[in-house]
Amino acid sequence: MSPHRIPWLVSDLPDAAALGPFLARIDAARVYSNNGPLVQELESVLAAMVQAYHPQAPAPFVVLASSGTTALHMAAAASGAPAGATGTVPSFTFPATAHALQHAGFQVELADVDAQTGTLSPTAVSTAAAGPVVPVAVFGSVLDTALWDNVAKATGRPVIIDAAASFPHQAPGQCCHVVVSFHATKPFGIGEGGALITADPAMADRARKLANFGFEDGVVHAVGLNAKMSELHAAVGLAQAQRWPDLAQARADLWTAYRDALPQNRIMSCLAGQAVAPANLVLDCGDHAVDAVQQHLSAHGIGSRRLYTPGLHQHPWRRRQDQPCPVTEHLADCLISLPFHTRLTRADVCSIATAVRGLFGA
């Protein structure tokens, strides 16, 4: 339970009544895992959702996984990059991005990010390394797939966009792949789960086999893992997909209300111009100390959160292994996330905007 009158996050998942029909199907089939019928149906439903937002993009293939982290692990392992090669990950991200590559057998170099997009700049991608490149679509933003397709072609390195919170808005490119998370904190939440989304059927096939211990025709051809989604999680996903039009509209309305109420120059630039609602509403505190901003909001009963702080290069796990990342450090020190969830009322938005304007002015 949040101590704040307006909590930073309230997850919005299907209730028991919505889950009932799907659980009844599981009872009838007596199949609970191992690529069951609900998992297969959910993969088709999610692919159609992505296609609906991007009708001109290549038709996507979806491979479900037990989490966003295992989805990235299997995507990296299936990418064709040589084992032990060095992959490139932004320092401004959640640790799972780097962890997944390391568990898949790659070395990881952390790179600084672009101040406007909050993710890797294509100029930071070296042709000297051969491991996967993982730009991150921060806070539910949407990356330019044509740009990252060009990076993949120019460098010969696989590109996997970590779009953990951007489903279904982030489409894959012709070359670059996408991984997403369905954790309860995400806009399309099912409790726990993730997926690889790719336009490459061979990539999808490799990932699917790796997610099942590397089995093919009863024998193991590569070191795999158990990344399979259960039928119970797929049931939640199918129920959530039925709710998505209403959820998406509620988030779009909330995004419009916030943009009308908040100082536009305070919304993080990579989100401010975005047509679709992001996962998080992130403000740039500028010269104001973030701790003081949080205290101000808390005094008004408003929850907030600092995200991706400190940068990965500053964690003890990575310290002294990486080059300086001044932009990452700047973003970690000046960004704050406001409440952005479907349980907010218009009165809540007005209260939050009033508190923000009281601190930053118009």
CA distance 263 to 259: 8
pLDDT band at 3; cut points 50, 70, 90: confident
The interaxial angle of helices 290-299 and 346-360, nearest 10 deg, is 130
Report the chain's mean pLDDT, rounded to a whole number: 96
Enumerate the domain spans of the chain. Answer: 16-237, 244-360
pTM for the predicted model, two decimal places: 0.97
Tell me how far the alpha carbon of residue 100 is from its chain's centroid: 14
CB proximity list for 329: less than 8 A, separation 6 or greater: 310, 311, 314
Cα 78–82–83 angle (5° rounding)?
85
Are the C-beta atoms of residues 180 and 155 closer than 8 Å to each other? no
pLDDT digit string, tens, across residues 265-292: 899 989 988 889 999 999 999 989 999 9
- Both tokens of residue 348? 């809540």
**The predicted structure's pLDDT at residue 321:** 72
Are the C-beta atoms of residues 82 and 105 closer than 8 Å to each other? no
What's the chain's Rg over C-alpha atoms?
Answer: 20
- CATH placement of domain 16-237: 3.40.640.10
Are the C-beta atoms of residues 142 and 170 closer than 8 Å to each other? yes
CA distance 224 to 77: 8
CA distance 140 to 90: 16
pLDDT band at 320; cut points 50, 70, 90: confident
Distance (Å) of CA 89 to CA 86, 236, 250, 322? 10, 31, 33, 11
Neighbours of 27 (CB within 10 A): 8
3-state secondary structure of 302: strand
Q: Are strands 177-181 and 160-162 parallel, antiparallel or unpaired?
A: parallel
Residue with tokens 């460098």: 155
**The predicted structure's pLDDT at residue 1:** 61
Residue by residue, DSSP assigns 38-79 as HHHHHHHHHHHHHHHH-TTSPPPEEEEESSHHHHHHHHHHTS
DSSP 8-state code for residue 226: B
pLDDT mean over 163-189: 98
Does the domain made of 244-360 have the CATH classification 3.30.360.10? no
17 pLDDT above the threshold of 70? yes
Residue with tokens 């600084």: 112
362 pLDDT above the threshold of 80? no
- Both tokens of residue 120? 């890797």
pLDDT digit string, tens, across residues 206-220: 999 999 999 999 999
**The predicted structure's pLDDT at residue 357:** 94
pLDDT mean over 225-238: 98
Name the β-bridge partners of 302.
Answer: 6
Q: Compute the CA torsion angle 259, 146, 328, 357 (nearest 10 deg).
A: -10
φ and ψ of 271, to 5 deg: -100, -30
Residue with tokens 């990486």: 322
**The predicted structure's pLDDT at residue 58:** 85
CA distance 122 to 234: 36
**Strand spans (E) along 234-303:** 281-284
pLDDT mean over 30-43: 98
CB-based burial label for 161 (10 Å; 0-12, 13-18, 19+): buried
